[in-house]
């Protein structure tokens, strides 16, 4: 059964996806996961080599979203107040006035998050988890929608501060992107040439606008997507299998040190519903769960030293879980 009558917000989201796919060529997975994060009210950690349209993706989304965008380049000398803002003394009045930091925007690009020290990472992750920040004794709510896309460069590790596993769990999804195909590479080249010519002209206005009301309505519709009891049981069993792998395979038991937390269960539920909604269905199928399982669990399953020595990746483990856990 498919969605019989599209809501206005659903139709707008589908148009936005189509528009983004013309601007971000060869990275359809990234486009879909970015929209799923927006629908599920979560945040993305994106890992990929330089030049793979990570920054372009969220900038293009900001161009069609009714809201504001801010890019933060994380560096070792960054301070928490550089993100949250701080109380500034005004001598003319003799009072302290709070000056908002860049986190008070709807879309945030945290570029190379692993280049900033732990205090700065914690300030960002607190804002992501609580949708608010506290400066001194005062708490300030952040705007909605609020989406953070953090990036990591897998090539360079020198001078970086890896995110602790407990903080990684705050991200809804961990998306890994690779190089485009030869066909996509040619299309990227053509698009780059067109954009270079257009740079001498007046900037184009986005053909469609996604309002904050559309986002809020879509988020409510995603929450109302039906998930049958057998599908929910399958989802839960996938997470439980990551915690008790010996019940399914001795090999899995050797590979996994820690399985997914309850936050993984909640995230998988929200992402599977958003995936179904984007694909014009009013119910969740096991395929929806499987489609987003790698991004939801990739950063939440900790491998044993033995697995790492054998060259086993989290994706290998998740694929094995999907293979072994029966669909109810």
| Strand residues in 36-146 grouped as ranges (E) | 44-47, 69-73, 85-90, 95-100, 107-111, 132-135, 138-141
The answer to whether the CB of 127 falls within 8 A of the CB of 87 is no
| pLDDT at 163 (0 to 100) | 83
Report the alpha-carbon distance of residue 275 to residue 260 in Å, rounded.
20
Fold of 8-196: Rossmann fold (3.40.50)
207 CB burial (10 A radius; 0-12, 13-18, 19+): exposed
The answer to whether the CB of 96 falls within 8 A of the CB of 89 is yes
The answer to whether the CB of 265 falls within 8 A of the CB of 326 is no
Indicate the DSSP class of residue 168. Answer: H
| pLDDT at 1 (0 to 100) | 46
Q: Which residues contact 153 (CB under 8 A, 6 or more apart)?
A: 47, 49, 50, 112, 114
| pLDDT at 204 (0 to 100) | 61
Q: Do domains 8-196 and 225-324 have the same CATH topology?
A: no
The answer to whether the CB of 317 falls within 8 A of the CB of 252 is yes
What top-level class would CATH report for the domain 225-324? mainly alpha
Q: Cis omega (within 30 of 0) on the bond before 7? A: no
Q: Which residues contact 261 (CB under 8 A, 6 or more apart)?
A: 169, 300
Whole-structure pTM value: 0.91
Give the residue ranges of DSSP H helices in 199-300.
Answer: 212-223, 229-243, 250-255, 262-278, 286-297
The answer to whether the CB of 158 falls within 8 A of the CB of 53 is no
CA distances from 84 to 112, 266, 276 (A): 18, 27, 35
The two counts, helices (H) then strands (E), for the chain are 14, 11
Report the alpha-carbon distance of residue 128 to residue 272 in Å, rounded.
21
Per-residue pLDDT of the chain (328 residues; tens, 9 = 90+): 455 556 788 999 999 999 999 999 999 999 999 999 999 999 999 998 888 888 899 999 999 998 899 999 998 999 999 999 988 888 888 888 889 999 999 999 999 998 888 888 888 888 888 899 888 788 899 999 999 999 988 776 666 788 887 778 889 999 999 998 999 999 999 988 888 887 776 656 667 889 999 999 999 999 999 999 999 999 999 999 999 999 999 999 999 999 999 999 999 999 999 999 999 999 999 999 999 999 999 999 999 999 999 999 999 999 999 999 999 7
Residue-range domain boundaries for the chain: 8-196, 225-324
């Amino acid at each position: 059964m498919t969605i019989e009558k599209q809501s206005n917000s659903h139709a707008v989201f589908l148009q936005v996806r189509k528009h983004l796919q013309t601007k971000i060529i060869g990275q359809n997975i990234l486009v879909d996961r970015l929209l799923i994060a927006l629908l599920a009210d979560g945040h993305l950690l994106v890992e990929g080599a330089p030049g793979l349209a990570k920054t372009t993706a969220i900038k293009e989304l900001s161009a069609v979203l009714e809201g504001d965008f801010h890019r933060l380049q994380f560096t070792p000398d960054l301070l928490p107040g550089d993100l949250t803002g701080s109380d500034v003394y005004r001598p003319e009045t003799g009072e302290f006035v709070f000056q908002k930091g860049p986190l008070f925007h709807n879309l945030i690009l945290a570029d190379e998050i692993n280049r900033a020290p732990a205090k700065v990472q914690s300030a960002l992750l607190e804002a992501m988890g609580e949708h608010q920040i506290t400066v001194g004794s005062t708490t300030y709510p952040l705007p909605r929608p609020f989406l953070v896309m953090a990036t990591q460069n897998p090539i360079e590790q020198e001078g970086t501060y890896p995110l602790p596993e407990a903080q990684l769990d705050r991200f809804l999804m961990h998306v890994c992107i690779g190089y485009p195909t030869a066909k996509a590479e040619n299309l990227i080249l053509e698009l780059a040439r067109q954009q270079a010519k257009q740079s001498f002209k007046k900037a184009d206005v986005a053909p469609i606008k996604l309002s904050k009301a559309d986002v809020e309505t879509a988020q409510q519709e995603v929450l109302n997507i039906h998930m049958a009891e057998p599908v929910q049981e399958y989802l839960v069993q996938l997470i439980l299998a990551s915690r008790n792998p010996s019940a399914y395979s001795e090999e899995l038991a050797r590979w996994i040190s820690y399985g997914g937390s309850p936050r993984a269960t909640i995230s998988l539920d929200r992402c599977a519903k958003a995936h179904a909604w984007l694909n014009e269905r009013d119910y969740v199928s096991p395929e929806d769960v499987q489609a987003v399982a790698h991004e939801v669990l990739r950063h939440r399953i900790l491998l044993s030293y033995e697995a790492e020595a054998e060259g086993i990746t989290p994706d290998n483990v998740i694929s094995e879980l999907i293979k072994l856990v029966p669909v109810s």
